Amino acid sequence: MWAPQPRPPTVARSAVPCSPRGGISGDRRGEYLVATWPVVGAPRHPGGREDGEPQLVHLRDLLRRRRRRIRRSRRRARLRRRPRRGGGGGAGAGAAAPRPRKGGRGKNAKQITWVLLLKAHRAAGCLTSLASAALGLAAAVRRRVAAGRTDSDAGASLPEESPAVRARFYGFIKAFLVVSVLLLGFEVAAYFKGWHLGAPDLHHLSLPSFGVRGLFDSAYSGWVRLRAEYIAPPLQFLADACVVLFLVQSADRLILCLGCFWIRFKRIKPVPKSPPSHDDPELGSDHFPMVLVQIPMCNEREVYQQSIAAVCNLDWPRSNFLVQVLDDSDDPTTQTLIREEVEKWAQTGARIVYRHRVIREGYKAGNLKSAMNCSYVKDYEFVAIFDADFQPASDFLKRTIPHFKDNEELGLVQARWSFVNKDENLLTRLQNINLCFHFEVEQQVNGVFINFFGFNGTAGVWRIKALEDSGGWLERTTVEDMDIAVRAHLKGWKFIFLNDVECQCELPESYEAYRKQQHRWHSGPMQLFRLCLPDIIRSKIGFWKKANLIFLFFLLRKLILPFYSFTLFCIILPMTMFVPEAELPAWVVCYIPATMSLLNILPAPRSFPFIVPYLLFENTMSVTKFNAMVSGLFQLGSAYEWVVTKKSGRSSEGDLYSLIEKDQPNKQHQRSGSAPNLDALAKEKEQAKKKEKEGKKKHNRMYRKELTLAFLLLTAAARSLLSAQGIHFYFLLFQGISFLLVGLDLIGEQVQ
């Protein structure tokens, strides 16, 4: 035992240099150890040495202990200075003060106040943004309703469908809506009466035989028996059939995606059989084949300059390619402008001709057919086709023509589209998702594995011999590009798709233009299927190629897809809410569509935030696609009308300037024709003014079928809420809102 001391024990310390390996050493580069001797009689530290023996401690440990003591003393001082809660004194108030966070400084009241104010400011900003968006939406809706312009007005309806067909289809949807509203009233009344009965439970219900209440109870019980015995079985059969079609189409899409992944994994890429030698400066123009370049256009004054400039700047010997500007415009001013542009480029040395038909028959197909009948076409081996809004890169021909060399079976080389206005609004973003999947997956997989796909009508190079062997351009459908591709495939010609060769173009920015384009794209294939089916059966191609054409290319991807999409999600699903005996499982309504949308968006990963709007918008567009499919299949209305998709020409001026800057170092003599002189600038200003005047004449419209379906789906959502079907309710609610926004024309270009 040791006697307590009045003062802490004193410790004698001395520092000696120590080598890094330990031990006493005089090396100055080593670390220092401190030798301590406890005073005799002082308590020995646990694990220490005997009394009187020195203990070696690192100097850094002593400094670390000192810093800890200083931090503890400062922390205690801060706690003493902190104001007590509640304004009261005493030890209890001080003890209730919050302890600071371990390893960091605590926040005082002023800091907490500023943090809360910052969060409140952000929340207020979010609420303000939502309120302003809601007010803007309400103002736009009020303008639409006040204007009263609908798709039934002149110029807004689809020219492909007759007024009788349009009125019949709209009448069917409107009658369905009226019946749904009446049934919802029945169901709400029964819900508040506590009736949650199916047909097997009706025998437990005692019905009064008189009075208004008895009449209602009898009517409701009769409706339940009617739907259970007569409506539910055929509805369930139709729902099961649509689900089977949905699964088949989903499997086809999954197989296409797996094929695309395989192409990327193996890095499969079409390469020319003979390596191109166009970059050899010693080669003369005789080494380059003769190429005919065609630019069909019709009243497209916004974009004609950019396409002509891009084609005339193609990197190809001037003596070996000729540009045909095929103008079908009926506006004399537009004809004059295009003719002057052609003359301007002809003065710079470009081989370019202007053609205008007096009798405009056959639309685009007739225009191309007329151009191919020129006598000088026999001197050319290939023909490249570009629509008026397309801007090929200067090396387009050098990257496509070499694939034809030493490959006599090759008839078509198709390039991919890229879009200059894909981020203009929500409509263009959703179109970009669709078309990226079309090119990246559908066209590329079909081109690699079966050497066949539908020609996209532009940004492609044809072997003229293949066109002539297939019968040339025909005016029998509105999809002349798909027509010539199918006939060339039946003749044994092969196609190549180049995913790495892109050609810039524009997307329609207004819903009205996009709707008309989609109607033409989905009515034409059904016309073509009726006309080509006998030729496909009689052709000499293999059985599997015939099966691919009939069952996959036409039936599954052109007919079944719009059929089940509209029937299943816009007709059957709302009906199952009012006929609960027929059911659609949740995986059909939510999980598989979400998975398919995820697969569709993979080629455009930057568009991932728009996956939900994309899913809803595709179901919304199923109305137009279904109507077009039925019109084309049964030849309803004037199914041969052609409507040119409206262009904006937003990128034409910048693209022309970039082409001019690129050509200035090596083509100084072309400045007089390509540089923007004063006359050209004055002309552009006049065109801009005219364009603004035309823009003022534009109007946003309301679309009756979409609005009627919106109210139908919202009514079905209210009925599903009574049945506590969560997934069905949310799907119907958001799908109804999507139809409402599209019906009010709030998704595309907004005309002030």
- Which residues are catalytically annotated? 328, 481
Burial class (CB in 10 A: 0-12, 13-18, 19+), 562: buried
Q: Helix 163-192 vs helix 211-226: angle between axes, to the nearest 10 degrees?
A: 120
Q: How far apart are CA 698 and CA 491, in angstroms?
A: 46
* CA separation, residue 234 to residues 227, 579, 583, 643 (Å): 10, 11, 12, 40
Cα radius of gyration rounded to whole Å, the chain: 38
Backbone torsions φ then ψ of 672, nearest 5 degrees: -65, -25
| Listed residue (422, 427, 505) closest to 749, CA to CA | 427
Contact 385, 367 (CB under 8 A): no
- At which residue do the structure tokens 């209440």 appear? 213
- How far apart are alpha carbons 53 and 61 in whole angstroms? 20
Element (H, E) at 56: strand 55-58
Residue type, 480: E
- Bridge-based pairing of strands 410-419 and 55-58 is unpaired
β-strand partners of 392: 503
Contact criterion met (CB below 8 Å) for 180 and 712: yes
Residue by residue, what is the 3-state secondary structure of 559-589? HHHHHHHHHHHHHHHHHHHHCCCCCCCHHHH
User: Rounded to an integer, what is the distance from CA 654 to the centroid of its chain?
Assistant: 25
Q: How far is CA 698 from CA 290, 304, 481, 512, 694, in A?
A: 44, 21, 31, 11, 7
Closest CA to 488 of 524, 460, 522: 460
The whole-angstrom separation of Cα 607 and Cα 619 is 18
Name, in order, each residue with C-beta under 8 angstroms of 610's C-beta and a sequence gap of 6 or more. 426, 429, 430, 433, 601
Q: Check: CB of residue 357 under 8 Å from CB of residue 268.
A: no
